[in-house]
Amino acid sequence: MTSPSVPSSASPPSAVHVTAAHDSALKHTTGEALYIDDMPLPRGALHLALVTSPWAHARLTGIDVRAALALPGVFAVITAKDIIGPNDIGAIVPGEVLLAEDLVEYVGHPIAAVCARDEDTARRAAALVTVEGEPLPPVLALDEAIAAEHHLLPPSVFLRGNPDPELARAPHRLTGSVRVGGQDHFYLETQVALAIPGEDQDMLVHSGTQHPTEVQHLVARLLGLDMNAVTVEIRRMGGGFGGKESQATLVAGIAAVAARVTGRPCKLRLDRDTDMEVTGKRHGFLLSWEVGVDDEGGILAVDMTLAADCGWSVDLSPGVVSRALSHADNAYYYPHVRLTGLYCKTNRQSNTAFRGFGGPQGMMAAEAMLDHIARVLRLDPLEVRRRNFYGPGRDITPYHQTVEHFRLPAMLETLLASSDYAALRASVDAFNAANPTLRKGLALSPVKFGVSFNKPEMNQAGALVHVYTDGSVSLNHGGTEMGQGLFVKVAQVVAAVFGLDLDRIKPTATTTGKVPNTSPTAASSGTDLNGMAAKVAAETIRARMADHAAALFEEPVEAIRFESNRVFAGNKSLSFPELAEACHVERISLSSTGFYRTPKIHFDRTTNTGRPFLYFAHGLAVSEVAIDTLTGEWKPLRVDILHDVGASLNPAVDKGQIEGGFIQGMGWLTMEELVWDGEGRLRTHAPSTYKIPTARDVPAVFTVDLLADAPNEEATVFRSKAVGEPPLVLALSVWLALRDAVASLAPAGWEPTLAAPATPEKILMACEEARRA
């Protein structure tokens, strides 16, 4: 035993609340980071290519695969008849087929898959497959689905108070609406899976998925197997953003069925065009409201409808619409409220999870409505927002959860000062008064984002931690790494528990063979859930080691401290590896599972009431933009953000998530336009036709500050808060600033008509409308 300087017991865990590099950052830059498409294929592996529907809606009458099978190098063509179990990959509601067999319901609906010796041959053969069908009338537009009440599910309603009489007696009764489009995930790595058959019908699936357990469950269903015969593994993804939560099952399922039929490893990787044509997007919404307000813009009652374009099947739409409804208040108190969500069916791709999971669309309804109130009543939009904030005695949400620890009022004052908002407002107004062609706009928007899955049973996670006799640690948990920094954050948590340097912790690939029955890495809950599960596992091992250290040191266990790669008791210490070896000699287990379930939450789906969220993350953004009123072109000039991440586990990773989320949100609201033609074909299915934001779209002044000295009041992992989704919504400030710039062309009291995405064409049309006003 040695006696080095002993760290203070009051010092915080050194591995958390500090910046640490992403565990794969260097490998990303050198190309050493292995993705599924980089993996050497087993001998005899086959490549797959899809045969998809040319119709938006049709009854299949025949499939002729003879020409494809005659092509040298083609081994098989897989159709629905090759599926052993039920042809069903419905994530929530049964009925979503893997391969179409009777009906096709959108252009791009998978019908068959060709298995060939290489990718090029598979694609050429897929083009030779002839599909026959009888076209049926499709529903191609959200408005058409709304008018026809073409719904996948009954409407969902959140109700509190008595909105109808309160609307009737309100001094001002305003109606309005806004349309917001969908968004393609446009992950750098497209959907991919590699299925490898084993003995006893076992199947190993390397799947680019955010939800390994769901892929395991549905592949087992398709193959008619128990789940224990299917193992799903994923080390990393090149982006996910929700697009690889349920949609990855389609690709993994086809690969697994092909592997079972051929007896060979089978790989399916979608090219960009096919990926965009086949997979679902963010739900587009038509948001409409009737609101009663007083003379000062104070909200008295709200009746709001959120109509979602779900596409052809249910997929994850119940969760998306539920979260949209639960965020349609954003930061504002509605004394009497009715929120109605519509699940509209169209013959398009089945829309799915996307960063924010409906929350951004719900909050857009709130922000558009608040802006509407301010402009019609000729009030300052900032003051209208401030006046309607949640507060004491005004703290019950439409779903009956009490808003606790509401941080936005104090954060607002901080951001107004740091951004010099008053001077910016004056500068924008002076610029507009002097410039008839170029106009500037300025806006501030908040976010109050509920953290936890709306479905309580999904708020659980497991982890598996091993300590080896050399003092190194292996870490496995149910979360998936898609570039967001989950693995390094959870590793930091384990390093902090053991008092070790971060490089002593090795995160390993996520696999259903180590941690079962996991929830998806989604809803901004990856670190909250998996970090806490890993912490529980590490603390279990640390307690065993502490007991043995106390016996060795002849000290009470309360005196044992794990810090600086050593174990201390007073002025005595052992290195961590020495204690690990000593525990092994005494046959003390150095392995443990950990399990965590989020406390306090509950939600009744029949009444849509309860406490679906453990806590709220808060943020504010001020955005300044400039537009050319003769062309509709625009650019962001300045963005100031203040965001609440609790006690950040890794400030650099959190800031990166805020910056990336904001820019992605800006893309959704201003440039990422999805266009279908009159036959239901997606025309924006490649970078040549679908524009995402790039480095050139980042504002010249982009300031991101984390709320200081603000640990989470709830007992989350080291008092941190989720950060993945909430910052995306702050980009609403850019859309609002564009509206502000357009409104400067018209008299006070006039409101711009500007749907999202606010492309240059739409901005130009809004400018012309403003001039006519």
Q: Which sequence positions are flagged as catalytic? A: 725
Sheet holding 110-116, edge to edge: 74-78, 110-116, 46-52, 266-269, 192-197, 203-207, 230-234, 510-511
Q: Which residues contact residue 323 at a Cβ distance below 8 angstroms, ignoring those fewer than 6 apart?
A: 356, 357, 358, 359, 362, 450, 454
428: left (phi over 0), alpha (psi -120 to 50) or beta: alpha
Alpha helices in 603-714 (DSSP H): 651-670
Alpha helices in 632-731 (DSSP H): 651-670, 726-729
392 C-beta neighbours (distance < 10 Å), count: 6
Inter-helix orientation angle 317-326/359-376, to 10°: 30
Place of tokens 């990166």: 656
- Asked, as a colleague might, if the bond just before 40 is cis with ω within 30 of 0, I would say no
94 C-beta neighbours (distance < 10 Å), count: 11
Alpha-carbon span 347 to 312, nearest angstrom: 5
Place of tokens 């990393």: 236
DSSP for residue 18: S
- Asked, as a colleague might, if the bond just before 265 is cis with ω within 30 of 0, I would say no
AA identity, residue 89? I
- What are the residues facing 591 on neighbouring strands? 466
Alpha-carbon span 292 to 692, nearest angstrom: 38
Alpha-carbon span 80 to 102, nearest angstrom: 10
Q: Which residues contact residue 517 at a Cβ distance below 8 angstroms, ignoring those fewer than 6 apart?
A: 213, 462
Tokens at residue 769, please?
């409308």
258 C-beta neighbours (distance < 10 Å), count: 27
Tokens at residue 141, please?
């537009």
Tokens at residue 95, please?
């009925």
Closest CA to 425 of 442, 400, 450, 448: 442
DSSP for residue 73: T
Closest CA to 507 of 98, 54, 23: 23
The SS3 call for residue 709 is: coil
Instruction: Provide φ and ψ at 243, rounded to 5°.
Output: -70, -10
Alpha-carbon span 127 to 118, nearest angstrom: 15
Cβ–Cβ < 8 Å for 678, 140: yes
Greatest distance between any 2 Cα atoms in the chain? 87
Alpha-carbon span 450 to 601, nearest angstrom: 11
The SS3 call for residue 208 is: coil
Closest CA to 708 of 649, 657, 646, 616: 646
Alpha-carbon span 643 to 408, nearest angstrom: 10
The SS3 call for residue 742 is: helix
DSSP strand pairing (299-311 vs 337-345): parallel
Alpha-carbon span 401 to 388, nearest angstrom: 17
DSSP for residue 518: P
First-to-last C-alpha distance (Å) of the chain: 84
Percent helix / strand / coil, the chain, rounded to 5: 35, 25, 40
Alpha-carbon span 581 to 467, nearest angstrom: 10
Query: How many angstroms from the chain centroid is the CA of residue 304?
Result: 24
